[in-house]
Amino acid sequence: MRIRPVKIDTFRENIIFLRKDSEFCRTQGVSSLTKVELSYNGKTLVGLLNAVDEPFLAKGEVGLCEYAFEKFDLPAGTEVKIRHMDPVRSVDLVRKKIHGEILDEDDYLQIIKDVVENRYSKVELTAFVVACAQGPMERDEVVYLAKAMVDVGDKIKWDSEMVVDKHCIGGIPGNRTTMIVVPIVAAYGLIIPKTSSRSITSPAGTADTMDVLCNVNVKLEEMKSIVAKEKGCLVWGGAFSLAPADDIIISVERPLSIDAQGQMVASILSKKKAAGSTHILIDIPVGKSAKVTSPLQASQLKKLFEYVASKMGLFVDVIITDGSEPIGNGIGPLLEVIDVMKVLKMENDAPKDLLEKGVELAGRIIEFDPKVKGGEGRAIAEGILKSGKAYEKMLSIIEAQGKKPEKKLGKLTLEVTSHKNGRIVEFDNKKIATCAKLAGAPEDQGAGIYILKKIGEKVKKDEPYMIIYAEEQADFDYAKEYLEKHREMVVIE
Amino acid sequence: MRIRPVKIDTFRENIIFLRKDSEFCRTQGVSSLTKVELSYNGKTLVGLLNAVDEPFLAKGEVGLCEYAFEKFDLPAGTEVKIRHMDPVRSVDLVRKKIHGEILDEDDYLQIIKDVVENRYSKVELTAFVVACAQGPMERDEVVYLAKAMVDVGDKIKWDSEMVVDKHCIGGIPGNRTTMIVVPIVAAYGLIIPKTSSRSITSPAGTADTMDVLCNVNVKLEEMKSIVAKEKGCLVWGGAFSLAPADDIIISVERPLSIDAQGQMVASILSKKKAAGSTHILIDIPVGKSAKVTSPLQASQLKKLFEYVASKMGLFVDVIITDGSEPIGNGIGPLLEVIDVMKVLKMENDAPKDLLEKGVELAGRIIEFDPKVKGGEGRAIAEGILKSGKAYEKMLSIIEAQGKKPEKKLGKLTLEVTSHKNGRIVEFDNKKIATCAKLAGAPEDQGAGIYILKKIGEKVKKDEPYMIIYAEEQADFDYAKEYLEKHREMVVIE
């Protein structure tokens, strides 16, 4: 059979198309749940078979969806062998997990290996994710899962003994501290090769925000040379094959909006380990509408991070922060860039909370340096920021990654005004995020929300307390409609 | 947009294909996880969007996979509207279930409604199935699930106050008692309109076996007129839309081989309720390699059946039977037909265990008749069998459903002989079933295994104790290879 790409986007599921009248389908009694293995010179690809009766496949052709064709990485027309895939043994382990059993180190390795080789269908993958999400995972199981995720992917090696990193578990709009922490820490002199994700469900990820300023799609060698020169970088992690199982797992977690503690910890720490980090600051925001809603839950999560990290040979410092409202004023890529640049330039109207948090986190990371005493980090970080060295460092990093032309904010704007005299008492982070997304963020870089008043601030009747920005009329209308239905996203009393 | 069928078999998932360069894909920022809703004159269809860049779709066309096209039931070329599907609210309930919460009656109804309307992707469906399989469902939750499954499908009404039925939870090869019970009970005079499934993972379902003798794909009105005349029938249940959610749920349970108690009970009782049955005999075989492996587990399952049935207004009698070895000698459609016909004709070499069990079950069903005293049913059933009336009834039912020409056994045969003098002490039901399936059952009706010696019987060195039948050389070779690797499927000591 000759392979050919079929340009159907199946979102990370290997689909293999065969004609219904092909010899394979006729003689092998194929149902549409059949998984097949294609092979060529020892290279194999497995996928779910879809039998087709459409003229797009010629006789003797086997079609590969875009994702599978890229994975297989062979030219169209390559003659391959096709056969039934052997049963995926590790699915038996998933079944054990569903029935409440505890799996061991080798079990997790087998499962994750099969996941990365795309031997799992979406159904099996979901079963694994839900089984791990429902019954709490033993903390050693989280270690096994994290180690397995590191083992099956690429690993980055650095020449330095200490490579620092930070991670926020997310859920707070704005909160673009990474872009303040990295230039401060790099200016101090620690190695901080930051890889970030794009937004999964939020109005902007750090990679989306940095993308406004410069190129973030950087190859490994390029990143290494940037870090050699600048000590730090701010690139998109998706370009590397670090803990690739995680991306596949996310492809089912995302539509389900599941974010189980065990999987989250394994996901974060495996990516950091694979990226070669040694010392990591973890930020857990706590608030009514944050991912973590109670101090008790935050404390449990902190201990889990600490336990798993120690077993993986990672040093972590876990910090629990205020997640009651957005951090900074801007929500959306360009709006967040504006905030970050104001902080780095120490402008008078720079958002105080973002500045304070950025300095605090940078200080904690600087304290990873054995030369720095506990409690001294903050002052050092503040000094670097005030000296303008952090801003200079940011400009150098932007230049090194490849500066982009300046962007403009969305032209469609709505000033949201208060219905009464009062005081801002509460934000619903999730609803604020949804509204900013409906306005077009992060795809439209100039879209989002700019907050004018934060918790505790007074607001007069008819005074605006936030502004919605959009680039497209349809998005603008969606956001306005959502706002009208959910005015409680900002509570004024 | 004009609809057109796309002949790709996606196995019970609605996939909707749109060109990447279509206005919808360009303006709506569609990812491949997007669900869309098509509508025409108030009729709607929802499905997962796959963006395509293949010439099979013309501009202005929206492609529907075979399954979706059939569901939508509109002619090709119909102009439909397309829009983003509203979020499926009941997925929030699934998320609650994943987090261990107990759902109420309305929650289950919402979930099952959305499932039947194909609003769930495979990922969401699997999440629901696994969440219900992992945490034990409260018994009231099973009631809610079962009731919801009845509510969303068709229901058959009968003119009789008592409509009897039987169901075996499965797992025992052979065990074709239904084809003995139905003619006895119908000859006695009770209404027993038996709908059966085809094999899901076994070498033969009752529908597959009956299919050797006559047509089983019978429409509702036809079935009613057969039952009016014969009191009973033996048809394929898949032709009706009874508890259709169950079929969709099975499409993910099957590849996972999950068979959780709660879902099983809800699935069985909802199908029976929808089919209009009032009195049901449930057969739970217990054995080391059966579905239920311990008497305690059987007793728990029995109580769950009883509880849920009572809440649904069904009368059940649950019988726990011996599941240590296959029932009857034949395994595979035609081989099982041969056994059944020998029993109905009371031939001397009829398998005793199948005869005994058939009579026992028929007797228990006859005792549903208020006129029959407890304990009298068995003798009545035996009398009907011995009189030849059951055989006559079977012939009438076959005639009424549409008799088929006689089939022949597979020509490729292997006598499996003993390596030593000894006695049969154990069967592995699962391995025996796998071997029969590899030989070609149930697709090849003449394929399977015929058992010559059962537990307790002596066997001499080189004496055959079973025969493998196959129609195709490749299947024959698979079965032989499997046998050599798994001789322990029959233990001789």
As a whole number of angstroms, the distance between CA B16 and CA B50 comes to 6
A259 is catalytic: yes
Per-residue pLDDT, B29: 56
Residues 204-233 in B contacting A (C-alpha not used; CB under 8 Å): none
Average pLDDT over all residues of chain B: 92
Residue A83 bridge partners (DSSP): A37
For strands A232-236 and A192-196, give the pairing.
parallel
How many residue pairs from chains A and B have C-beta atoms closer than 8 A?
121
| B325-352: pLDDT as tens digits | 999 999 999 999 999 999 999 999 999 9
Q: Does A56 touch chain B (CB under 8 A)?
A: yes
CB-based contacts of A485, cutoff 8 Å, min separation 6: none
Q: Is A443 on the interface with B (CB under 8 A)?
A: yes
Which tokens sit at A125?
């993958």
Q: Look at residue B27 in the predicted model and tell me its pLDDT.
A: 63
Q: Record the tokens describing residue A53, joined without a space.
A: 């009766």
- Closest residue by Cα to residue A251 from A238, A262, A239, A261: A238
Tell whether the model's pLDDT for residue A27 goes beyond 70: no
Cβ pair B45, B38 in contact under 8 A: yes
With tokens 């020892």, the residue in question is A42
Alpha-helix residue ranges (DSSP H) falling in B387-458:
389-401, 429-438
**B61-65 and B15-19 strand pairing:** antiparallel
Instruction: Check whether A365 has a pLDDT greater than 80.
Output: yes
Q: What is the ipTM of this complex?
A: 0.76
Interchain CB contact of B254 with A (< 8 Å): yes
Contact A3, A69 (CB under 8 A): yes
β partners of residue B469: B413, B448
Tell me whether A408 touches chain B (CB under 8 Å): no
* Alpha carbon distance B362, B343 (integer Å): 13
Using CA coordinates, name the residue in chain A closest to B11.
A32
The yes-or-no verdict on residue A42 having pLDDT over 90 is: no
CA neighbor of A130 nearest in space, from A255, A32, A291: A255
Cis omega before residue A442 (within 30°)?
Answer: yes
Interface of B with A in 456-475 (CB under 8 A): 474
- Active site residue: A259, A339, A369, A444, which one? A259
Query: Cβ separation of A130 and B135 shorter than 8 Å?
Result: no
The percentage of chain A sitting over the pLDDT mark of 90, rounded to a whole number, equals: 71
Report the C-alpha gap between B207 and A38 in whole angstroms.
Answer: 35
Instruction: Read off the tokens for A173.
Output: 């709009």
Nearest residue, CB atoms, B130 vs list A31, A130, A474: A130
Q: What local confidence, expressed as pLDDT, does residue B239 receive? A: 79
- Give how far A400 is from chain B: nearest CA, Å: 31
Using the predicted structure, report yes or no on whether residue B33 has a pLDDT greater than 80. Answer: no
Lowest mean pLDDT segment, chosen from A166-180, B8-22, B54-68: B8-22
pLDDT tens across A366-389, in order?
999 999 999 999 999 999 999 999
Is residue A169 scored above 80 in pLDDT? yes
Residue B176 in this model has a pLDDT that exceeds 90: yes
Instruction: Tell me if A332 sits within 8 A of A412, measured CB to CB.
Output: no
CA distance A243 to A287: 30
Among candidates A325, A323, A345, A356, which has minimal Cα distance to A465?
A: A325
Domains delineated in chain B: 2-84 (2.40.40.20), 90-151 (1.20.970.10), 164-239+257-401 (3.40.1030.10), 412-492 (3.90.1170.30)
How many angstroms separate the CA atoms of B187 and B401, rounded?
A: 17
Q: Give the CA distances from residue A17 to residues A65, B5, B14, B168, in Å, rounded to whole numbers and listed in that order.
A: 8, 16, 17, 38
Mutate to test the interface with B, among A4, A11, A19, A485 (most CBs of B within 10 A): A11
**Cβ neighbours of B483 (radius 10 Å):** 21
For residue A329, the model assigns a pLDDT of 96
Average pLDDT over residues B112-123: 88
* A86: pLDDT strictly greater than 80: no
pLDDT (tens digit, 9 = 90+) per residue, A323-351?
999 999 999 999 999 999 999 999 999 99
Supply A205's token pair: 């990820």
The model carries a pTM of: 0.81
Q: Where does the pLDDT of residue A28 fall: very low under 50, low under 70, confident under 90, or very high at 90 and above?
A: low
Distance, CA of B80 to CA of B52 (rounded, Å)? 19
Q: Is a pLDDT exceeding 70 seen at residue B277?
A: yes
Query: What backbone phi and psi angles, to 5 degrees, belong to A439?
Result: -70, -10
CA B95, CA B127: separation in Å to the nearest integer? 8
Q: Contacts of residue A129 in chain B, CB cutoff 8 Å? A: 127
Residues 6+ apart with CB under 8 A from A367: A317, A373, A374, A375, A376, A377
**Which of B92, B126, B199 to probe by mutation at the A interface, max A CB count within 10 Å?**
B126
Cβ atoms of residues B207 and B198 within 8 Å: yes
Integer Cα distance of B372 and B374 in angstroms: 7
Q: What is the CA radius of gyration of chain B?
A: 25
Measured at the CA of B266, the angle between CA B263 and CA B270, to 5 degrees, comes to: 145
Dist CA A468 CA A411 (whole Å): 10
Residue the block writes with tokens 């529908």: B207
d(CA B425, CA B421): 13
For residue B150, pLDDT beyond 60: yes
At residue B481, the pLDDT reads: 92
Contact A51 B11 (CB under 8 A): no
* Strand (E) or helix (H) holding B480: helix B473-485
- Report the pLDDT value the prediction gives residue B117, as an integer from 0 to 100: 85
Looking at residue A64, the DSSP 8-state letter turns out to be E
Rounded mean pLDDT, A20-46: 77
Q: Which residue has the tokens 């029995």?
A: B302
Convert the pLDDT of each residue in B358-381 to its tens digit.
Answer: 999 999 999 999 999 999 999 999
Residues B40, B44, B49, CA angle at the centre, nearest 5°? 105
Q: Amino acid identity, residue B434? A: T
A87: pLDDT confidence band, cut at 50, 70 and 90? confident
* Residue scoring higher pLDDT (B136 or A235): A235
DSSP code, position B305: H
User: In Å, how far from its chain's centre is CA B292?
Assistant: 17
B353: CB partners within 8 A, 6+ apart: B327, B328, B454
Nearest one of B28, A309, B278, A153 to B37, comparing CA atoms: B28
Could you give the strand order of the β-sheet that contains B458-459, starting from the edge strand earlier in sequence?
B458-459, B422-427, B490-492
Residue B80, token pair as written in the block: 């439909």
Task: State residue A33's pLDDT score.
Answer: 63
Peptide bond just before B442 cis, omega within 30 deg: yes
Q: What's the pLDDT tens digit per position in A432-469?
A: 999 999 999 998 999 999 999 999 999 999 999 999 99
CA A63 to chain CA centroid, Å, is 31
Is-contact B271 B246, C-beta < 8 A? yes
**Does the pLDDT at position A122 exceed 90?**
no
Question: How far from each other are the two terminal CA atoms of chain B, in whole angstroms?
Answer: 70
Determine the Cα–Cα distance for residues A470 and A449; give it in Å rounded to an integer: 9
Please judge whether B252 and A54 are an interchain contact, meaning their C-beta atoms are less than 8 angstroms apart.
no
B256 touching chain A per CB within 8 A = yes
- Mean of the pLDDT values across residues B442-471? 96
Whether residue B349 lies within 8 A of chain A, CB to CB, comes out as: no
Asked if B93 has any chain A CB less than 8 Å from its own CB, the reply is no
Range B393-406 burial, b when 16+ CB lie within 10 A, else e = bbebbbebbeeeee
Report helix, strand or coil for B340.
helix
Q: Distance from CA of residue B174 to its chain's centroid?
A: 15
CA of residue A490 relative to chain centroid, distance: 26
Q: What's the CA gap between A218 and A237, in Å, rounded?
A: 9
Residue A18: closest C-alpha in chain B:
B8
Q: What single DSSP character describes residue A377?
A: H
Name the residue facing B135 among A33, A122, A134 (closest C-beta): A134
What is the pLDDT at residue B19?
A: 87
CB B175 within 8 A of CB B326: yes
Among A205-214, B99-108, B247-256, name the one with the lowest average pLDDT: B247-256
3-state class (DSSP) for residue A323: coil
User: Is the pLDDT confidence value at A253 over 60?
Assistant: yes
Q: Are the beta carbons of A9 and A64 closer than 8 angstroms?
A: no
Chain B residues whose beta carbon lies within 8 Å of the beta carbon of residue A87: none
Rounded to an integer, what distance in angstroms lies between the CA atom of residue B430 and that of residue B437?
11
The per-residue pLDDT for range B381-430, each reduced to its tens digit, is 999 999 999 999 999 999 999 999 999 999 999 999 999 999 999 999 98
pLDDT over 70 for what percent of chain A?
Answer: 98
Cα A141 to Cα A149: distance, rounded to the nearest angstrom: 12
**What ranges make up the beta strands (E) of A118-217?**
164-168, 192-196
Beta strands in B313-411 (DSSP E): 315-322, 330-331
Put simply, whether B133 touches A (Cβ < 8 Å) is yes
> Residue length, chain A?
493
